[in-house]
Amino acid sequence: MSTLREVTTPPAEWALRIAAVLVGTVITVTSEVIAAFLTPFRIGAQLIPISWAIVVIGVVLGVAITRYGSGVAGATAIPAVAFFLVLWPLSSRTSEGDVVVPGTWVGYGVLLLGLMAIVGTVAVTMSVSRPRRSLG
């Protein structure tokens, strides 16, 4: 007759996991807002896509912190959903006609590279397994 030992997670570890999800989400959202406002960045008359690097670095960092800090692969959906919930209104035109992420090649690049960074980071972090703690 075998009995299974109940493995419980201490409250401090749950707090750290929740903090990791929050930090990863804040990093992702902050980087995308900064990238959105730097989309029309120009030197002279030339558009400079500095926002592409900012959005890719921020998304990769935020999703990776969420995955490895929380220990749950499904938690990476939280910064991914936050990315779309924040970027959607920033790329939509207001009633006054204002738009933060314009429909230029740089603006489309921010949307596309952000999506690709999310998908790529989630795929890589889900394929790499974390070291398991022993039960004993």
**Contact between 59 and 31 (Cβ < 8 Å):** yes
Domain boundaries, the chain: 11-122
Q: In the chain, which residues have pLDDT < 50?
A: none
pLDDT at 12: 86
Tokens standing for residue 97: 């006609």
Give the pLDDT confidence of 103-130 residue by residue, as tens digits: 889 999 999 999 999 999 988 888 776 5
pLDDT at 131: 59
Name the pTM for this structure: 0.81
**Contact between 120 and 56 (Cβ < 8 Å):** no
